[in-house]
Amino acid sequence: MIVLENVSLTYDSGTIFQKAAIKNVSLSIRKGESVSIVGKIGSGKSTLVQFFNGLIKPDSGKVFVGGEDLGSKETNLKSVRRKVGLVFQYPEEQFFAETVFDEVAFGPKNMGLSGKELKDAVWQSLSDMGFNPSDVANLSPFGLSGGEKRRIAIASIIAMNPEVLVLDEPTSGLDYTGRNLLIEYLKNENKKGRTLVFVTHNMDEALEVSRRVIAMKDGKKVFDGNSEDFFTSEELVYGIGLDVPFVVKVWKKLKKRFPELPFCRSSKELVDFLYGGPAR
Amino acid sequence: MKARFALGQYTYTNSLLHKLDPRVKILLVFSLVVFLFFVRTITGYLILFVFACSLVVLSKNSFSSVFRSLRPILLLLLFTAVFQIFFTPGRLIFEWRFIKITAEGLRLAIYISIRLILLSFFTFILTSTTSGIELTDGFEALISPLKIFRFPSEEVSLMISISLRFVPVLFEEADRIMKAQMSRGAEFNKGSLVNRARSFLPLLLPLLLNALSRADRLAIAMESRGFVIGKKRTRYREMKLSGLDYVAIAITVSVFVFALVVKEIV
Ligand SMILES: Nc1ncnc2c1ncn2[C@@H]1O[C@H](COP(=O)(O)OP(=O)(O)OP(=O)(O)O)[C@@H](O)[C@H]1O
Ligand SMILES: [Mg+2]
Instruction: Write the pLDDT tens digit of every residue in A250-259.
Output: 999 988 888 8
Beta bridge partners of A35: A197, A212
Calculate what percentage of chain A has a pLDDT beyond 90: 72
Q: Is the pLDDT of residue B1 over 50?
A: no
pLDDT score, position A83: 93
* Interatomic CA distance for residues A52 and A33, integer angstroms: 15
Is the pLDDT at A14 greater than 80? The verdict is no
- The chain-wide mean pLDDT, for chain A, equals 91
Q: What is the mean pLDDT of residues A80-109?
A: 93
CB within 8 Å of B97: residues ≥ 6 apart: none
Task: State the average pLDDT over residues A123-127.
Answer: 94
- Tell me the pLDDT band of B4, cut-offs 50, 70 and 90: very low
User: Choosing among B1, B64, B184, which should be mutated to test the A contact, i.e. which has the most A CBs within 10 A?
Assistant: B184
d(CA A18, CA A10): 7
The dihedral over CA atoms of A139, A144, A150, A152, expressed in degrees to the nearest 10, equals: -10
* Neighbour tally for A20: CB within 10 Å: 16
Nearest to A64 by CA among A7, A111, A20, A11: A7
- Res. B37 pLDDT band, cuts 50 70 90: confident
**DSSP SS3 for B136:** helix
User: Which of B6, B179, B202 lies nearest to residue A106, judging by beta carbons?
Assistant: B202
* Pairwise CA distance, residues A189 & A204, whole Å: 19
- Among protein residues, the one whose CA lies closest to atom 25 of ligand 1: A41
Domain locations in chain B as residue ranges: 2-134+238-265, 153-229
Residue with the smallest CA separation from ligand 1 atom 8 is: A47
Question: Rounded CA gap, B7 and B13, in Å?
Answer: 16
The DSSP secondary structure of chain A, one letter per residue, reads -EEEEEEEEEETTTSTT-EEEEEEEEEEE-TT-EEEEEE-TTSSHHHHHHHHTTSS--SEEEEEETTEETTSTT--HHHHHHHEEEEPSSGGGG---SSHHHHHHHHHHHTT--HHHHHHHHHHHHHHTT--HHHHTTS-GGGS-HHHHHHHHHHHHHTT--SEEEEESTTTT--HHHHHHHHHHHHHHHHTT-EEEEE-S-HHHHHHH-SEEEEEETTEEEEEEEHHHHHH-HHHHHHTT----HHHHHHHHHHHH-TTPPP-SSHHHHHHHHHHSS--
Of A69-73, A192-196, B14-18, B153-157, the range with the highest mean pLDDT is A192-196
- A116: which residues sit within 8 A by CB, 6+ positions away? none
* Res. B43: pLDDT tops 80: yes
- Per-residue confidence (pLDDT) for residue A87, from 0 to 100: 95
Most confident of A2-16, A145-159, B144-158, B163-177: A145-159
- The A-side interface with B (CB below 8 A) comprises 11-12, 15-17, 50, 53, 55-56, 78, 81-82, 85-88, 91, 93-96, 106-107, 109-111, 142, 156-157, 160
- Per-residue pLDDT band for B260 (boundaries 50, 70, 90) equals confident
Task: Please write the tens of the pLDDT for every residue from A128-175.
Answer: 998 999 999 999 999 998 889 999 999 999 999 999 999 999 998 888
Q: Name the closest ligand to CA A216.
A: 1
Res. B236: pLDDT tops 80: no
Which tens digit of pLDDT belongs to each residue from B107-132?
A: 888 888 888 889 888 988 888 888 87
Would you say A36 and A214 are in contact if contact means Cβ atoms under 8 Å apart?
yes
First to last CA, chain B: 46
CB B28 within 8 Å of CB B17: no
Nearest CA in chain B to A55: B179
Decide: residue A233, CB within 10 A, 0-12 exposed, 13-18 middle, 19+ buried.
Answer: middle
For residue A128, how far is its CA from the centre of ligand 1 (angstroms)?
31
Give the mean model confidence (pLDDT) for residues B147-175: 84
Query: pLDDT (tens digit, 9 = 90+) per residue, A32-50?
Result: 999 999 999 999 999 999 9
Q: Do B185 and A93 touch (CB under 8 A)?
A: no
The mean-pLDDT minimum among A21-35, A134-148, B158-172 falls in: B158-172
Average pLDDT over residues B227-233: 79
Ligand nearest, relative to CA of residue A44: 1
CA torsion, ordered A102, A104, A105, A110, to nearest 10 deg? 120
Looking at mean pLDDT, say which of A55-64, B78-87, B239-248 comes out highest. A55-64
Phi, psi (deg, nearest 5) at residue A214: -115, 125
CB-based contact B182 A55, cutoff 8 Å = yes
Q: Which residue has the higher pLDDT, B136 or A205?
A: A205
Which residues of chain B does A160 touch, with a Cβ-Cβ cutoff of 8 Å? 184-185
Cβ pair A94, A142 in contact under 8 A: no
B2 at the A interface (CB within 8 A)?
yes
The Cβ-side half-sphere exposure at A188, using a 13 Å CA radius, reads: 8
Instruction: Look up the pTM and report it.
Output: 0.78
Percentage of chain A beyond pLDDT 70 is: 98
- The predicted model gives A100-119 an average pLDDT of 93
User: At residue B28, does pLDDT exceed 50?
Assistant: yes
Ligand nearest to the CA of B174: 1
B31 residue type, one letter: S
Q: Is A47 in the pocket of ligand 1 (CB under 6 A)?
A: yes
